[in-house]
């Protein structure tokens, strides 16, 4: 099996003596968009870093495409999984075009081995994200939202079977939020496994096929959003000010 399936098996992690989560088990299948949500500090970014072998779980294991991520070299992992971090402030004034092209490094022999098809993939990704006109801009001169679009374009250019995104719409206006969700749905539609950390529970209901919920040092729920998004769980997560109604046959979360 060399697809994008992400399989998190009985995973636990601690920073020193501080336990962040334990017993986390869920999977993201090819063709599926899964939303990961939960309160601030519940361990979502930490779990992402474990999936990318940047942090080592204290217990359990994480597989992608049937291989334990800890057994993959950095290059192999970069060909299997793309990652959009929560934020990234580039230390150097790389041009947007070069930043997106960096997504292709996993497929070529370094930045000096860039082939026409790598350049095409980068151009297509910029086109898809609507940032072609920013191609010659240094990344250090972009707004927060523009930087976020560049990071997503880089992940798309990387063209991996698994895509992990940490709050991919946090800095975006509503139009660009809708654009990103449409692109993520298309990525899943093309057979990729997509895991996106999200804060707005309505985004999970509207756009995701699966929901995974981090809370109280573990996974509080996992399944189709309609079954996960129930008032009891939301009140546990976010307190009594949270209600669930119905809009167009889907749950709709709103303030009480
Ligand atoms: N490098 C670190 N060393 C020690 N503790 C850390 C470190 N990074 C994160 N933590 C702690 O681990 C817990 C989980 O943090 P994490 O960033 O994974 O949460 P999160 O769910 O992504 O939060 P948010 O929604 O605010 O982005 C928090 O209590 C945080 O303080």
Q: pTM surpassing 0.90?
A: yes
User: What's the pLDDT at 177?
Assistant: 95
> What pLDDT, on the 0 to 100 scale, is given for residue 241?
87
What pLDDT does 230 receive?
Answer: 87
| 181 CA from centroid of ligand 1 (Å) | 25
| 14 C-beta closer than 6 A to ligand 1 | no
CA distance 74 to 56: 14
Q: Is the CB of 40 under 6 A from ligand 1?
A: yes
Written as one string, the DSSP assignment of 35-90 is EEE-STTSSHHHHHHHHTTSS--SEEEEEETTEEGGGS-HHHHHHHEEEE-S----
DSSP three-state, residue 144: helix
Is any atom of ligand 1 closer than 6 Å to the C-beta of 170? no
Say if ligand 1 is within 6 A of residue 172 CB: no
Domain spans of the chain, in order of start: 6-255
| pLDDT tens sequence for the chain (256 residues) | 458 899 999 999 999 999 999 999 999 999 999 999 999 999 999 999 999 999 999 999 999 999 999 999 999 999 999 999 987 777 788 999 999 999 998 888 665 678 889 999 999 999 999 999 999 999 999 999 999 999 999 999 999 999 999 999 998 999 999 999 999 999 999 999 999 999 999 999 999 999 999 998 999 999 999 899 888 999 889 888 888 888 888 888 888 8
Asked whether 164 and 48 are in contact (CB, 8 A), the reply is yes
Q: What is the pLDDT of residue 114?
A: 82
- Amino acid 210: pLDDT: 97
CA of 212 to the centre of ligand 1 (A): 17
Determine the pLDDT at residue 110: 60
Is residue 16 classed as helix, strand or coil in its secondary structure?
Answer: coil
pLDDT at 242 (0 to 100): 87
**What's the pLDDT at 92?**
85
What's the 37 CA to ligand 1 centre distance in angstroms?
Answer: 14
Q: What is the pLDDT of residue 102?
A: 92
CA distance 132 to 121: 13
Reported CATH class of domain 6-255: alpha beta
The 8-class DSSP code of residue 131 comes to -
Angle value at C-alpha 125, between 121 and 128, nearest 5 degrees: 140
User: Tell me, what's the pLDDT at 91?
Assistant: 77
């Amino acid at each position: 099996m060399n697809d994008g399936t992400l399989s998190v098996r009985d995973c636990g992690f601690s920073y020193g003596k501080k336990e962040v989560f334990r017993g986390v088990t869920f999977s993201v299948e090819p063709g599926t968009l899964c939303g990961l949500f939960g309160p601030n500090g519940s361990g979502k970014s930490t779990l992402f870093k474990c999936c990318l072998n940047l942090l080592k779980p204290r217990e359990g294991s994480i597989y992608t495409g049937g291989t334990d991520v800890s057994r993959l070299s950095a290059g192999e992992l970069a060909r299997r999984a793309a990652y959009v971090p929560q934020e990234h402030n580039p230390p150097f004034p790389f041009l947007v075009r070069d930043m997106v092209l960096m997504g292709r490094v996993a497929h070529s022999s370094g930045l000096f081995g860039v082939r026409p098809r790598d350049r095409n993939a980068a151009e297509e990704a910029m086109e898809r994200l609507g940032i072609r006109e920013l191609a010659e801009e240094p990344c250090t001169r972009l707004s927060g939202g523009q930087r976020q679009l560049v990071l997503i374009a880089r992940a798309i250019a990387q063209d991996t079977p698994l895509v992990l995104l940490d709050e991919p719409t946090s800095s975006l206006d509503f139009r660009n939020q809708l654009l990103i969700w449409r692109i993520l749905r298309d990525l899943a539609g093309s057979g990729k496994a997509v895991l996106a950390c999200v804060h707005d529970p309505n985004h999970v209901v509207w756009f995701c096929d699966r929901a995974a919920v981090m809370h109280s040092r573990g996974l509080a729920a996992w399944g189709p959003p309609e079954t996960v998004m129930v008032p009891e769980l939301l009140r546990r997560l976010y307190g009594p000010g949270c209600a669930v109604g119905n809009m167009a046959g889907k749950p709709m979360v709103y303030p009480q």
